Amino acid sequence: MEVQRKRNVLTPPSGLHKIEVLLRPAHQRLVIGRVKDEQSEIEYPKPGQYSKVPYAEAPWLSPPFSSPYYNESHRRLQQEVRHFVDTELRPHVAATERDNKRPPNEVYKRMGEVNMNAMRLGPGRHLKGRKLMGGVKPEEFDYFHEMIITTELSRLPERGFVTSLNAGMIIGLPPVLNFGSEELIKEVAEPALNGDKFVALAISEAFAGSDVFGMRTYAKLSEDGSHYIVNGTKKWITNGHFADYFTTACRSDNGYSMLCIPRALGVETRPIPTSYSASAGTAFVMYNNVKVPAKYLIGQDGMGIPIVLSNFNHERWAMCCGVVGSLRAVNEVLLKWINQRKVYGRPLASQPVVRQKLAFLVAQSEASQAYLESITYQMNKMSYKEQSKYLAGPIAIMKAWMTRLSHEAADIGVQLMGGRGITKTGMGQEIENFNRTYKFDSILGGSEEVMADLGIRQALRFYPKNVRL
């Protein structure tokens, strides 16, 4: 390989290949020797290593900065999770995306063995008795611990792969854990947390997305009360194509209800092609006279809407965690790029207009981090019921704002990367994938417009009647 000599240091030519490409065995065979007493200027990344690129890491991970929100258990967890992601998950990304299939079963089993599946559901009784990563005690596990896991996963370069890692379980299992019978929890939760079974949340329909009251799927209770007959369809169901259980919102004679419906009862699914890969298992779900035993009812018949709404807070907050992690990854790629890409003989970083674009992106990612940490702190101080009452609006507004920022980040990323920013392979593949998939966050869990409206409507409900200009 051509090199540039500089004071006893070997510098590889810029802008040709990513480091991971140069490290592949096929390329390493081309190395015929090393120049004596010369050392590479490039530091090759190691599994679990922190990035030294400014603004690529959250401030609390970047010496000499500190934070009031994190303690030693958070740091231990972050180190172990990043090493796990780099060694156990990252090697499967390329093949999974190329083949459009979900990751091998051993990936889910390994996540189950280290209890990552359980930790992604947040604090709760489901952690009791489990040995958690980083030596974190179940009773001290909080939402900052969960945030760390989600942000670390979101740094992976392919959104479809990240979504395939039990995204459906994260939103589909909490209703079972929080409102289901002990019998139902035992049947569904343990196999799902161990990585043996898969759960999907089935709410959206062709006629009902953010408007959950518009759903048409109907669950008719039999005269003897032993079972329900379910008819209807669900659309855009994450992980639905390979799910074993569907946490399904339905109309019923008593209003709305939630059922955890096993696939074995005759549920049919069909994959839906979306902007990210088929590995996410996005599906169209069909219930045609599906007979569901009454034991699969979640909570009480008629209380489906409160269950649905209480579940939204955690889902939307988790999506914001993912946005923050993704923005950090974008920062890292772009800062590396502008330093090594030369235009007219000078690095892109020498251009004031480029620095201005990056400054805007950095400011927004730092603001997002602070916003998320503030909300997360409040979640730690509130009960599940209090979160539903006081944080539904703030979380909704945060989600709407962050997904707008993702739009700006995608635009800046593509403009700075040029042709590489719209190419699925090579040095700009992370930016291309982010640009192609960031819109999922602005739609899933409630659209930006609905989120903004929800936030203000909740504020108006708390508005004091005796206040005037």
> Which superfamily, per CATH, for 199-302?
Butyryl-CoA Dehydrogenase, subunit A, domain 2 (2.40.110.10)
Token pair in block for residue 279:
């590995």
DSSP state of 455: H
Q: Among 162, 158, 157, which Cα is nearest to 116's? A: 162
Q: Are 258 and 311 in contact (CB under 8 A)?
A: no
Burial of 129 (0-12, 13-18, 19+ CB in 10 A): exposed
Token pair in block for residue 464:
């004091």
Beta bridge partners of 248: 202, 259
CA gap 287, 231 in Å, rounded: 5
Q: Are 274 and 282 in contact (CB under 8 A)?
A: yes
64 upstream amide cis, omega within 30 of 0: yes
Amino acid identity for residue 467 in this structure: V
Report how far apart, in Å, the C-alpha atoms of 62 and of each of 134, 151, 376 are: 19, 16, 20
Q: What is the pLDDT of residue 12?
A: 45
CA 293 to chain centre: 33
Q: What is the pLDDT of residue 229?
A: 97
Q: Are 174 and 311 in contact (CB under 8 A)?
A: yes
Q: Write out pLDDT tens, residues 164-178.
A: 999 999 999 999 999
Q: What is the pLDDT of residue 36?
A: 82
Give the global pTM: 0.91
Pairing between β-strand 218-221 and β-strand 255-262 as defined by DSSP bridges: unpaired
Burial of 98 (0-12, 13-18, 19+ CB in 10 A): exposed
Tens-binned pLDDT, residue by residue, of the chain (469 aa): 444 444 444 444 445 667 777 677 777 777 777 788 877 777 777 899 999 999 999 999 998 999 999 999 999 999 999 999 999 999 999 899 888 899 999 999 999 999 999 999 999 999 999 999 999 999 999 999 999 999 999 999 999 999 999 999 999 999 999 999 999 999 999 999 999 999 999 999 998 877 888 899 999 999 999 999 999 999 999 999 999 999 999 999 999 999 999 998 889 999 999 999 999 999 999 999 999 999 999 999 999 999 998 889 999 999 999 999 999 999 999 999 999 999 888 999 999 999 999 999 999 999 999 999 999 999 999 998 899 899 999 999 999 999 999 999 999 999 999 999 999 988 999 999 999 999 999 999 999 999 999 999 999 999 999 999 9
Q: Where are the domains of the chain?
A: 4-40, 59-165, 199-302, 306-461
Any idea which architecture 59-165 has in CATH?
A: Orthogonal Bundle (1.10)
Q: From edge to edge, which strands make up the β-sheet containing 9-11?
A: 4-6, 9-11, 39-40
Residue with tokens 């947390």: 193
Q: Write out pLDDT tens, residues 266-303.
A: 899 999 999 999 999 999 999 999 999 999 999 999 99
Amino acid identity for residue 146 in this structure: E
Token pair in block for residue 102:
């979900």
Beta bridge partners of 221: 228
CA gap 5, 289 in Å, rounded: 73
59-165 and 199-302 in the same fold = no
Q: What is the pLDDT of residue 2?
A: 42
Q: What is the pLDDT of residue 16?
A: 64
Q: Are 233 and 267 in contact (CB under 8 A)?
A: no
Fold category of 306-461 in CATH = Butyryl-CoA Dehydrogenase, subunit A; domain 3 (1.20.140)
**Torsions phi, psi of 198, nearest 5?**
-125, 140
Report how far apart, in Å, the C-alpha atoms of 458 and of each of 45, 304, 384, 400, 452 are: 46, 21, 17, 15, 10
